[in-house]
Each structure stands twice: as structure tokens, then as C-alpha cells.
Amino acid sequence: MENLQVRRVAILGFGTVGKGVYKVIRKQQEEFPYIIGAELEIAKILVRNKAKYSQEVEETILTDTWAEIIADDSIDIIIEVMGGIEPARTYILEALRAGKHVVTANKDLVAQHGHELLDTASQNNCDLLFEASVAGGIPIIRPLKQCLAANTITEVIGIINGTTNFILTKMSQEGMEFQDALALATELGYAEADPTADIEGYDAGRKIAIMASIAFHSRVTFSDVFTEGISKITAKDIRYAHEMDYEIKLLGIACNTPEGIEVRVHPTFIPKNHPLAAVSDSFNAVFVHGDALDDAMFYGRGAGELPTASAVVGDVIDIARNMQNICTGRIGCTCYKSLPIKPMAEVKSSYYLRMQLEDKPGTLSALAGVFGENKVSIFKLVQKTRDNDTAEVVIITAPVKEKRIQEAIKTFSQMEIIRKISSVMRVYD
């Protein structure tokens, strides 16, 4: 193969993912001419401190100056793996306006400003791809946009945060309490020093917002997502869940209903025979229901240097193929609808409640009365323990609107015979 064109890329950021991208491109160097009909060359790597990386990378390609990259017309593709909103957003917008194509792994940015970026890409006939922003190495954006394009997708449910899935797996399989499992995750490097974004479901919230937008063809941003974290889950809740043939997972759930899009992240009881229930440790999985497809699931590594780089470089290859065929911008934003977001109060779900009750006649009848007044049907009620004058009961309700269960809980909290509402979690069924 002679006289091949060379597609030149710049990598912004050289953290875990940036290093992975560098390694994958170098490793596949000989394959690109066959795969894309062109060479692929790393032209520049943008870092803050060049000296820090001079042992790992040829010094000539390191730069600490964005202006050097944006001014270089020979650079075709920008790979943004810095993370955070700024300066990533500004760099990407400038790159697109300069006619450069962009690949990003930045879920925070895509979930918040994705549509601004996609609009700018479209105006400049550029590609903006972001497969790595959701579920790392697992192909999900492209399947949703292309393979499943013949479907009306009604449901996307994901285990899309490896840190929390690792913690819940340890709690489930080894009976650990949350704090101990979190400590272990931190020790093993699965949890960051400040684990808030993972634990509280913000990370998963960004990813489900991105998937909901694409699956339902309507703009959904992170601010539309209801989030609830996993820090209140106890080993006891998980034991009770097992006794009823459930696992507890932190799920990102997006549903397209006639009354609007439901989009939320919360700990969820999920039946043990559901394929998502078996997704353990730091693995991720996304479950999709479409009207033609029926059920499908995509499973794999949701994070990590090389899995994430696999998705990033897959996008780079796609862009290079588009350049080769003069069809960049081939598939841009697919949000051609404006569907409302359903308020969380209107979302229907079954619920698990664990409560400490005064152990005397009439208590259950009073409890059932409050449920009845709020139109909450009880699907199952089990007394778990009796200790002195306190009984612990577990209740599974029939599906009911969030606002009704919240009303019932408000009333319970004012009743003396109800000593404590220990847990409230949603049940997927």
C-alpha cells in the first residue's frame, strides 16, 4: 500500500483513558491501512506538564498549548479525554468550528451540553462521536443509533456504574455492610477518593440521560434525571431481597411512556432471573426493550484504560472511514422529537418497605388503613422479627405512583405505632 492518506489525530489529556488510546492506536498501527484505507498518526498530545510524560512519549508530539493544535490544519480528529466541562467544551466547539472531527469519552459534558456540541458538529459537517461516554468498552450508542433504528424503543435499563456494582456485589455475595464494601472498593482502586458521583448515582445519571436521548429521539439532560444513591442500603435489606428472590442493583432506568419520558437512577429490587441480576463486580450491562427486537442486553467492561480506549478508537476508525468516503456528519443528532419528562411524583413502581412497628394488636390494621387511604395495594407483607415490643415487617406493594407512596410514608412518620421506616426501595417488575 503506497501513497496512503494520513489521518492525523490529537489527544487532549493523558490520564488513564488518554494513555489507553495512545497504546491502542500504536498497537493497531499496521492494521489501519486495511481497516480504513488510510494511515492513522498521533500528531499531538495535549498535557499540562510536558516534562511529566517525556519518558513515556516522544517529546515532539507533546504540547501544553491548545492553540498549537487548533491552528494545525493537518490535524483531522480531536480525541477529548480530559474530562470535566471546561475547558473541554470550549476546545470541542473550537475544533468543530475549525472543521475538525471530535471523539469524546466525556459523559459529564455530553449529558449536559451534548446537543450544543451535536448542533455545532452538524453546522460544520463534522462527526462528533461519544461511544465511550456510556458503559466504556460496551458498544451501546452505535447499536442504539444504527442496529436498533427500526425499533420503537420503550425501555433502557443499565447497570452503568462499576464502582457501585462492585460494592453491591460484595454486600450481596459476602454479606458486607456498605461502609466496609466502600472501603474495599477504595483500597482496590474501584472507588475514587471522593466517591460521591458514583455512590449518589450522578455518574449513572449522566449515562442514562445520554442513552435516553438516543433511544427515544428526544433531548434528555442530566438535570432531568431523578437520582438516589446506595449509601442507605444495608446487608439486611439485601438478605431480605434474596429471601424473596431479588437482587438489589443500582439501575439507570429510562422508559418511554405515553405520558412522557421516565428517567431515573436508584437502588432497585430486580428479580433474580432477570439477566441484569447476574451482572456482578465491576461489570456493566445495558438492557434494551424494543417493539421489534423484544429484549436485548449488552454486557462488558464499563471502564478501564483499554476497554474505554477500545470505544474511543472505534469511533476514530468510524470517522476515518467517513473521511475516506467523503460522508462525515453521516449520522448526527437523532433527537427529532420533543417529548416531555414525566415528573418523578407521577412515576409508577412497586416498593419495598422495611419498617419497625409497635408489636401490639391493631398496628397492622392501622398500617393497612394508611396504605388504603393512599390507594397503595399491598402485594406481600411478612413479619421478619419480633424483639421486645417491636416487630420488623417487610412490605412489597403493587405498582403505584411515587406521590402516593410518599404521602403514605409522610403519614407513617407521624404515627407513634410506627417506630421507624428503615428502608424504602423501588421494585422492578
Angular region, 383: left φ>0, alpha ψ -120 to 50, beta rest: beta
Strands, E, within 118-165: which ranges?
Answer: 128-129, 153-159
Which of 43, 307, 350, 402: binder of a copy of itself (CB under 8 A)?
307
- Pair 154, 296: CB distance under 8 Å: no
Q: Which stretch binds a copy of itself (CB under 8 A): 78-86, 112-120, 135-143, 169-177?
A: 135-143
The nearer residue to a copy of itself, 151 or 154, going by C-beta atoms, is: 151
**How many residues are there in the chain?**
429
Which of 55, 60, 74, 336: binder of a copy of itself (CB under 8 A)?
336
Q: Which stretch binds a copy of itself (CB under 8 A): 66-74, 202-210, 309-317, 406-414?
A: 309-317
Cell 497504546 found at: 23
- The footprint of a copy of itself on residues 352-411 (CB under 8 A) is none
Q: Is 339 in the site for a copy of itself (CB under 8 A)?
A: no
Q: Is 281 in the site for a copy of itself (CB under 8 A)?
A: no
- Report the nearest approach of a copy of itself to the CB of residue 272 (Å): 11
Which of 169, 310, 397, 423: binder of a copy of itself (CB under 8 A)?
310
Q: Is 264 in the site for a copy of itself (CB under 8 A)?
A: no
Q: Nearest-CA neighbor of 202 among 221, 187, 178?
A: 221
Backbone phi, psi, residue 160, to 5°: -125, 25
Backbone phi, psi, residue 108, to 5°: -60, -45
Helices 363-373 and 402-413, packing angle to 10 deg: 140
Q: Is 139 in the site for a copy of itself (CB under 8 A)?
A: yes
Q: What is the contact mask toward a copy of itself in residues 148 to 177, using x (rule: CB under 8 A)?
A: xxxxx-------------------------
Copy the grid coordinates of residue 271. Answer: 428479580
- The span from the CA of 422 to the CA of 236, in Å, is 10
Active site residue 207: yes
Q: Which stretch binds a copy of itself (CB under 8 A): 91-99, 155-163, 231-239, 330-338?
A: 330-338
Which of 300, 319, 418, 427: binder of a copy of itself (CB under 8 A)?
300
Q: Which stretch binds a copy of itself (CB under 8 A): 41-49, 320-328, 346-354, 358-366?
A: 320-328
Which of 57, 235, 244, 293: binder of a copy of itself (CB under 8 A)?
293
Q: Is 123 in the site for a copy of itself (CB under 8 A)?
A: no
Which of 298, 370, 411, 422: binder of a copy of itself (CB under 8 A)?
298
Q: Nearest-CA neighbor of 120 among 97, 86, 104?
A: 97
Q: Is 35 in the site for a copy of itself (CB under 8 A)?
A: yes
Q: Which stretch binds a copy of itself (CB under 8 A): 62-70, 77-85, 172-180, 289-297?
A: 289-297
Q: Is 38 in the site for a copy of itself (CB under 8 A)?
A: no
Q: Is 51 in the site for a copy of itself (CB under 8 A)?
A: no
Which of 11, 17, 24, 62: binder of a copy of itself (CB under 8 A)?
24
Q: Is 309 in the site for a copy of itself (CB under 8 A)?
A: yes
Is omega for the bond preceding 275 within 30 degrees of 0, making it cis? no
Q: Is 311 in the site for a copy of itself (CB under 8 A)?
A: yes
Q: Is 215 in the site for a copy of itself (CB under 8 A)?
A: no
- Pair 320, 31: CB distance under 8 Å: no
- Report the nearest approach of a copy of itself to the CB of residue 9 (Å): 12
- Pair 68, 37: CB distance under 8 Å: no
Q: Is 28 in the site for a copy of itself (CB under 8 A)?
A: yes
Which one of the listed residues 170, 207, 249, 342 is annotated catalytic?
207
Number of H helices, E strands in the chain: 15, 17
Residue 237: HSE in the Cβ half-sphere, 13 Å Cα cutoff: 29
CB neighbour burial string for 155-187, b if at least 16 within 10 angstroms, e if fewer: bbbbbbbbbbbbbbbbbbeeebebeebbebbee
CB neighbour burial string for 77-103, b if at least 16 within 10 angstroms, e if fewer: bbbbbbbeeeebbebbbbbbebebbbb
- The span from the CA of 211 to the CA of 215, in Å, is 6
- The span from the CA of 262 to the CA of 215, in Å, is 12
Three-class DSSP category at 102: strand
**What is the sign of the dihedral through the CA atoms of 93, 87, 45 and 308?**
negative
- Cα 204 vs. chain centroid, distance in angstroms? 4
- Report the nearest approach of a copy of itself to the CB of residue 276 (Å): 10
Total number of residues that touch a copy of itself (CB under 8 A): 57
Catalytic residues: 207
Residues in touch with a copy of itself (CB under 8 A) = 20, 24-25, 27-28, 34-35, 131, 137-139, 142-143, 146-152, 217, 275, 278, 290-301, 304, 306-307, 309-314, 316-318, 321-322, 325-327, 329-331, 334, 336
